[in-house]
Structure 1
Amino acid sequence: MVLHTPAPEPRTMLQKHLDYFDPDHDDVFSPYDTFVGFRDLAYPRWSAAIAALLVHLALSYKTLPKYKAAEQRFTLATFIASIPHRIWSYIPDPLLRIHLDNIGGIVHKSDPQMFNDQGEFDSQKFEKLFEMYSSAPNRDSLTRSDVMRIWRSQRSLGLFRYIGEGLKWLGRWYTVSPRSGSMTKDELRGCYDGSILYLLAEQRTGQVGSTKTASNHVAPADEMAPLLSSDVSE
């Protein structure tokens, strides 16, 4: 068990989406960190291991630190000296670490796309998702059937991305584990900004200190507070 606490502000929504898995807040986390994070959310060992591997296979190379040329006059000598650094920045990390500093340009290429190119959350597309697919009278929650309709609507993405989207929705549903049979707006938004992960980890592991998450994340405290008292399946 690891004590999960929010990272200091400012953070983009996409960084908050993954901050939970970086407990020491050094902006670099390994597959083991992610495995422990999923275990603290009550994932079985096998599914936590598979989820961690898939996340890092998808994001590790895309977030590699890229070579940045120093501000100096360009000469043949400086160019030759920079070649090893340029090459190194394209070699995959054998440890599959994810670098949060470079996550800003990595967006979920799904439709609807919830993050813009800067890694910020698109609230309008989030609301449109519920308007289009929610079967609730107030359009404020998603049932399992609604989630399946969202997934089926993404068949045009291609086989691998379509499967990837299905796995992401399965992960969100399993993480929240709504006993009511519906995932609310607050719960889904909490998955996107990461705030619900701290609350669920506290509920499922008895951690101390993660209750300050709601005030440090995008989701307002008055919206997230009911989640603390809701029943969550083990």
Structure 2
Amino acid sequence: MEPRAEPHIRGARRKGLQSHIAFFDPDQDGIIWPIDTYNGMRAIGFGVIFSLLAMVLIHLGFSWFTSDALLPDIFWRIHVSRINKVLHGSDTGTFTQTGDMDERRFDYVFALYTAPPHTHMTFQEGVRMLHGNRRSYDFFGWFVAACDWGATYLLLNPADGRIAKHDVHAILDGSLFAKLAQKNTNPETVTKPEKLSETSPKNTENTHPEKNGKHGHSKRKH
């Protein structure tokens, strides 16, 4: 039986939480199958075991909440239009109950748990954020929030141990996933924006030693 398409997702303005998971709905029919989640996890750089585990936990934990049926879906499908139903406790509150992204809340939480100038977050600061958002006896919420932060840190794997604020935002709005998938597919054709901004004339000269050598000889000749 073919899954019921949800055409209002196509061409319509997605809410923040819908945009967050849109990458995992490759045919944009409004339904995410377990295999879609697995393939998406692999595409953005996770290994086989982690992707399988994430697929099971995500669909087992969230599928029924996004369905309009009384009984659980035997195929564990997730319906994008009702993804706001999976919002759990002990989170940052960045997404509202209707699934919209609260930019002010995001800025507030990031500034609250990070050191000035509040442009990056370390793993320890993220753990402190988890503790600060915990609600009493919300064991499921604690677990999911911890998994979210752990997966985020593992995915970005910052060399200096600090995750940039704009990268966290790009994960929340879903824009980073396609970039990571493209980078993993064509690593030689994708350059990080921050590396481009760091390029200077001095660095450019250092990257072309043979040219520098030629200029050096010409100066000595004249």
For normalisation by structure 2, the TM-score amounts to 0.76
In structure 2, the partner of 1:51 is 54
In structure 2, the partner of 1:189 is 169
Residue 40 of structure 1, CA deviation: 0.8
In structure 2, the partner of 1:74 is none
Q: Which residue of 61, 66, 72 maps to 2:64?
A: 61
Task: Check conservation: 1:199, 1:228, Cα contact below 8 A.
Answer: no
Distance 1:186 1:106 in 2: 24
Please state if 1:13 is matched with 2:16: yes
In structure 2, the partner of 1:177 is 157
Task: State the secondary structure of the residue aligned to 1:118.
Answer: coil
In structure 2, the partner of 1:226 is 193
Question: Structure 1 residues 229, 18: CA separation in 2 closer, same or farther (over 3 Å shift)?
Answer: farther
Q: Which residue of 22, 37, 42 maps to 1:39?
A: 42
Question: Structure 1 residues 229, 32: CA separation in 2 closer, same or farther (over 3 Å shift)?
Answer: farther
User: Which one has the largest radius of gyration?
Assistant: 2
Task: Check conservation: 1:203, 1:228, Cα contact below 8 A.
Answer: no
Please state if 1:107 is matched with 2:87: yes
In structure 2, the partner of 1:167 is 147
Task: Check conservation: 1:140, 1:184, Cα contact below 8 A.
Answer: yes
Structure 1 gaps of 5+ residues are 1-6, 67-88, 212-224
> 2:66 corresponds to which letter in structure 1?
T
Task: Check conservation: 1:15, 1:100, Cα contact below 8 A.
Answer: yes
RMSD (Å) for aligned C-alpha atoms: 2.2
The 10-residue stretch of structure 1 (7-16 or 180-189) with the greater mean CA deviation from structure 2: 7-16
Q: Which residue of 138, 142, 148 maps to 2:117?
A: 138
Please state if 1:26 is matched with 2:29: yes
Identical aligned residues as a percent: 28
Residue 30 of structure 1, CA deviation: 0.9
Question: Structure 1 residues 206, 9: CA separation in 2 closer, same or farther (over 3 Å shift)?
Answer: farther
In structure 2, the partner of 1:77 is none
Distance 1:111 1:101 in 2: 21
Please state if 1:151 is matched with 2:134: no
> 1:148 corresponds to which letter in structure 2?
V
For normalisation by structure 1, the TM-score amounts to 0.72
